[in-house]
Amino acid sequence: MHTKILVVDDEADVQPLFIQRFRKEIKNGEFDFAFALSGEEALGYLDQHHSEVILILSDINMPGMTGIELLSRIRQSYEKPPPVVMMITAYGDDENRHQAMEKGANEFLTKPLDFSLLKEKLNTFIHD
């Protein structure tokens, strides 16, 4: 099964990191990644490729549109089918965690990302 995941982070090096961390899955055709460097870019991408994207992984702390804002915009604009949204932020940020859950995030992950945990969670969501 081919799953498109949109990763939103203002750090450009997140892209090669994901591609390497998930190279087996990409090679096997399990996942397909798209990247955006800001909330605005992510929304633009979703506009074009809405039907393809099944899961969105977004950083919260970004200049300009925050991950939380992006989350609420996604929840407003894309009702069917609702994409799975996982939020990522710095360790111990309870306020954002609470806010993200309230706005309808499916999962909440803290930095530094534990990739084996992320893989586990991705598999759970995709196979459900």
Binding of residue 21 to another protein (CB under 8 A):
yes
Query: Hey, what amino acid is at 78?
Result: Y
Spatial neighbors of 15 by CB under 8 A, at least 6 apart, are 7, 33, 35
Binding of residue 113 to another protein (CB under 8 A):
yes
User: Which region among 45-53, 70-78, 79-87, 92-100 touches another protein (by CB under 8 A)?
Assistant: 92-100
Q: Which is nearer to another protein, 32 or 93 (CB)?
A: 93
Query: Hey, what amino acid is at 112?
Result: P
Binding of residue 43 to another protein (CB under 8 A):
no
User: Which region among 10-18, 29-37, 48-56, 74-82 touches another protein (by CB under 8 A)?
Assistant: 10-18
How is 3-33 classified by DSSP, letter by letter?
Answer: EEEEEE-S-TTHHHHHHHHTHHHHHTTSEEE
Spatial neighbors of 32 by CB under 8 A, at least 6 apart, are 2, 3, 4, 5, 26
- Among 26, 33, 61, 75, indicate the residue that binds another protein (CB under 8 A): 61
Spatial neighbors of 54 by CB under 8 A, at least 6 apart, are 3, 4, 5, 83, 84, 126
Binding of residue 95 to another protein (CB under 8 A):
yes
Q: Closest separation between CB of residue 46 and another protein, Å?
A: 20
Which residues contact another protein by CB under 8 A? 11, 13, 16-17, 20-21, 61, 63-64, 66, 69, 90, 93, 95-96, 99, 111-113, 115
